[in-house]
Amino acid sequence: MSGDTYNVKKSVSVGPNAKNIVHNRPGQPDPPEPPTSSSWMTIASVAVAASLTVSGGVYFLGQSSPEEEAGSTEIEIVEHLALPPVIQTASAETKSASGPRLALVIAQTDYTAGQTDIALAEAEAAQIETALRSTGFVTTSARNLTRAGLADTLDSFRSKLEAAGSNAIGFVYYTGHGTQHPKSGDSYLLGTDARLNTASDLPLYGLNMQSQSDAFAATDAKAVFLVFDACRNVIDPGGWKAGTKGISRVEAMTDMLIAYSTSANDVAEEGVYAPILAEELSRAGQTAETAFATTQRRVADATGREQLPYTSNKLYSEICFLSCPSEATTGGAVTPP
């Protein structure tokens, strides 16, 4: 299955006015008809036993019911499942030590109610998703979510992470618009239907980032990573203070790392943070803290210190994405910087 994943599609209805599109990686053709259960198991068994690569083989399971389709728009959540150990990129030692790895990758490209579109959001999300899958994460990708769809998708992922147990690792990457309230300073992620005419519209069309952090902290996961590649431009409807831009910092809770593509109260360029972070996530022989610290320095250097990423780190377990530094002394290959 492109050499690294199976795919399973689920459908969730979120309301009559929702515009929610969740799909496979950009540029892929429509999938073939779903195979039967016995065919599916045969394909999986052959891939595991013979380490075969099935070119273009993307299979989708599950159909929405007529009740789900009536009066609502469907969100298609696409999960990219990690392959059996014989085909995995991440070492068995790293994965067994860290437990289940679940990731949600959200790309907000097409804003329909006045916000500027983000042309590179799809490409940014694809880079991060590829890196995460190469390190053993089961990834779910979501595209162009309304405020309702964004809330539903995050809630569903958080519930899945909690069900995975206390040894699980969760990773959320969001690329899209984010902004802060001009009076309270609270920061919000914006659905593609965000209509911001006044400051009072923000709680209606955005998701409070502090509330999301609090909710993920309550999952009891071993570690949670929240990455916000947002703050694309200055949003200035009526009632905004002059010069208000970017998002304010939400600090990490225990066993959590929150990363921002730029510093507080500033904006981020498209296509700068994601490719560098993707490289560091898939680099062997370093801890998670090192991966994000190196990303910060590289982005600052690449932009002449015009864009300064920030990380709030409260991890208390050694978490590594591809492999830990200790593996370099036991035969694990370390990719040079």
Report the chain (337 residues): mean pLDDT per 10 consecutive residues: 37 42 45 44 38 33 39 44 38 53 96 84 96 97 96 98 97 92 85 85 89 96 95 48 58 96 77 95 97 97 93 95 78 43
DSSP 176: S
Q: Which residues contact 109 (CB under 8 A, 6 or more apart)?
A: 117, 118, 119, 121, 122, 143, 144, 176, 192
Whole-number Å distance between alpha carbons of 140 and 8: 9
Q: Distance between alpha carbon 218 and the CA centroid of its chain, in Å?
A: 19
Asked whether residue 119 is assigned to any structural domain, the reply reads yes
Query: Which tokens hold the place of 265?
Result: 């109260």
Does 336 reside within a domain?
no
Please give the structure tokens belonging to residue 319: 């978490």
Residue 235 falls inside a structural domain: yes
- CATH code, domain with 273: 3.40.50.1460
- Supply the pLDDT for residue 185: 81
First to last CA, the chain: 30
Whether residue 3 lies inside any domain: the answer is: no
Instruction: Answer yes or no: is 193 within a domain.
Output: yes
H helix runs in the chain, sequence order: 37-50, 66-69, 92-98, 121-134, 147-163, 202-205, 209-217, 273-281, 288-302
User: Considering its fold, how many domains does the chain have in total?
Assistant: 1
DSSP conformation class of 17: T
| 77's tokens | 């959540």
The Cα 131–Cα 109 span in angstroms is 20
Sign of CA dihedral 20, 26, 29, 31: negative
**What pLDDT score does 231 carry?**
66
Domain span at residue 307 reads 8-36+59-330
45 falls within a domain = no
Tokens of 229: 């590649």
- Assigned domain for 50 exists: no
The CB density around residue 302, as the number of other CB atoms within 10 Å, is 15
Residue positions counted in the chain: 337
pLDDT at 246: 59
Query: Per the domain annotation, does 1 fall within a domain?
Result: no
* pLDDT value, residue 78: 53
Distance of CA 89 to the CA centre of its chain: 19
| pLDDT at residue number 183 | 78
Give the burial class of 45: count Cβ atoms within 10 A of its Cβ; 0-12 exposed, 13-18 middle, 19 or more buried.
exposed
